[in-house]
Amino acid sequence: MLRIRRVEEALAEKYAEQQMRCPMHLCIGQEAISVGVCATLTNQDVVFSNHRAHGHYLAKGGDLKRMIAELYGRSTGCCGGRGGSMHLVDLDVNFLGSTPIVGGTVPLAVGAAWAARLKGDDRLSVAFFGDGGVEEGVVHESMNFAALHRLPVLFVCENNNFSVYTPLKERQPNQPIYKMAEAHGLTSWHGDGNDVETVFNIARQATQAIHNQQGPQFIELSTYRWREHCGPNFDNELNYRTAEEITTGMAACPLAKSRKNILAAGTQSMDQLQQLENEIDREIAAAFEFALSSPIPTYTDAVGKVYAQ
């Protein structure tokens, strides 16, 4: 979590330099979900994600250097610069891809699970999406098919109560999202997405259930996005959420909670944590250096690979 947070804080800081010239959606405040869920996955499990993908990518083990390079549009980026922040991929860790059409990758995750079934692989696949995603018909179609064939897929809905600046209550009736998944025949779970232990426990049970042939599982996790929908800044001045809401939301910081627990349990000392943070910061600095010293592609690099051989 700390690593994701520090990476995104660094991104936010550097964004103003106008060298990362692409839309960027930070997950600061929502890190516990990526981390808690991905901690229950093996390398061969497959992940698909959406526009807010940094956390998912890093938690699955995606290469930090190549992610930063991608944001800078360099040749060493994970898509060679073709994708930017909203199109991440790392085949080495089976992070198969994130794309920004809301709901668009959810059926792909189901398809990956179907492929695993057909090929007899014991791998599961995961779709990360937001509370807005469930409004897309395609997500319902995906749940229906997954439940029908009891496919090994985990749906993870990160409910941060907003789609851009529109609160949930202006988009959906007052009904829990996870109940919808139940109506589709999925086993569903829900909990506090700002508590990494809760997330981990739920995800572990859910992935275990999938491995035990209990069919697809759906997890709804409540969380809070700290910064603006798209871009590096806070956006309190827009007034689409009250100061009070923001304070409460940020008070539920998953990192603070986890740090407190760690210190209380004594698993790591303050010093150790600081050391960890220093290491992370060094890694991040190196990643930025890697990105900025990477080759700059030109238009000719954009021309090929439209069709596969």
Partner 1 sequence: MRSETAARKLTYAQAIQEALRQAMEADPGVVVIGEGVPDPKAIFGTTAGLREQFGAQRVFDMPLSENGMTGVCIGAALCGIRPVMVHQRIDFALLAMDQLVNNAAKWHYMFNGLKSVPLVVRLIVGRGWGQGPQHSQSLQALFAHIPGLKVIGPATAYDAKGMLIAAIEDNNPVLFIEHRWLHNINDVVPVDSYRTSLDKARIVHAGNIVTIAAFSYMVMEALHVAQAFAKHGIAVEVIDLRSASPLDTDTVLSSVKKTGLLIVADTARASGGITAELITRIVEQGFDHLRKPPTRIALPDHPAPTSHFLANGYYPDAVNIFEEICRIADIKLGADARAQILHDIRRINPHDVPNLAFTGPF
Ligand X SMILES: Cc1ncc(C[n+]2csc(CCOP(=O)(O)OP(=O)(O)O)c2C)c(N)n1
Where do contacts with Mg ion occur on this chain (CB under 5 A)?
Answer: 130-131, 160, 162
CB 124, CB 116: distance < 8 Å: yes
Q: Which does 133 bind (CB under 5 to 8 A by kind): ligand X, Mg ion, a second copy, none?
A: ligand X
Q: Does 73 bind ligand X (CB under 6 A)?
A: no
Shortest separation between residue 171's beta carbon and a second copy, angstroms: 7
Q: Which does 89 bind (CB under 5 to 8 A by kind): ligand X, Mg ion, partner 1, none?
A: partner 1
Of 177 and 255, nearer to a second copy (C-beta) is: 177
Answer for which of 183, 238, 256, 286 binds a second copy (CB under 8 A) is 183
Pairing of strands 166-167, 162-163: antiparallel
**Helix pair 254-265, 196-211: axis angle to 10 deg:** 90
Shortest separation between residue 197's beta carbon and partner 1, angstroms: 31
**Helix pair 2-15, 31-38: axis angle to 10 deg:** 140
CB 190, CB 156: distance < 8 Å: no
Beta strands in the chain (DSSP E): 46-49, 95-98, 125-130, 153-159, 162-163, 166-167, 187-192, 217-222
Q: x-or-dash pattern for ligand X, window 49-68, by CB under 6 A?
A: --xx----------------
Place of tokens 């030109």: 298
Answer for which of 161, 172, 205, 236 binds a second copy (CB under 8 A) is 172
Q: Does 108 bind a second copy (CB under 8 A)?
A: no
Answer for which of 163, 198, 217, 223 binds ligand X (CB under 6 A) is 163
Instruction: State which of positions 182-241 bind partner 1 (CB under 8 A).
Output: 230-232, 238-240
DSSP secondary structure string for all residues of 203-248 = HHHHHHHHHTT---EEEEEE----S-SSBSS--GGG-SS-HHHHHH
Binding site for a second copy (CB under 8 A): 135-141, 144, 147-148, 170-175, 179-180, 182-185
Binding site for ligand X (CB under 6 A): 51-52, 100-102, 129-133, 160, 162-164, 229
